[in-house]
């Protein structure tokens, strides 16, 4: 069976983004192992890594980086994960 793990909802959120938003770590790991793209941006310009950093989920963030998540990806307010973490900024 072949399914698209990168399909998006109306907000352009993937299952990976939703798993991280709802802090379902096991689901996020399965999606990454199933070739989910960690660099898809939702309607706000946030990637899965933005949400992992925002929720301070270092384990998931590390796994996203291992799966080639772009650490320099900027959201619609032009903030990357480093600045979000450094200044504890919440735009989500």
Domain ranges of the chain: 15-87
Decide: 84 and 53 in contact? Cβ < 8 Å: yes
Q: Residue 53 in 3-state DSSP?
A: helix
Which superfamily does CATH assign the domain made up of 15-87 to?
Ankyrin repeat-containing domain (1.25.40.20)
CA distance 39 to 71: 9
Compute the average pLDDT of residues 57-84: 80
Q: Rounded distance, CA 69 to CA 61, Å?
A: 9
Whole-number Å distance between alpha carbons of 80 and 84: 6
pLDDT surpasses 70 at 89: no
4-8, 15-19, 58-62: segment of lowest average pLDDT: 58-62
User: Model-level pTM greater than 0.75?
Assistant: yes
């Amino acid at each position: 069976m072949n399914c698209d793990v990168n399909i998006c909802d109306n907000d352009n959120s993937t299952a990976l983004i939703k798993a991280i938003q709802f802090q379902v770590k096991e689901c996020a790991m399965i999606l990454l192992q199933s070739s989910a793209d960690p660099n898809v941006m939702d309607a706000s310009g946030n990637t899965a890594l933005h949400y992992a950093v925002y929720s301070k989920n270092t384990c998931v963030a590390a796994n996203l980086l291992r799966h080639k998540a772009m650490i320099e990806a900027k959201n619609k307010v032009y903030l990357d994960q480093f600045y979000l973490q450094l200044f504890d900024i919440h735009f989500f």
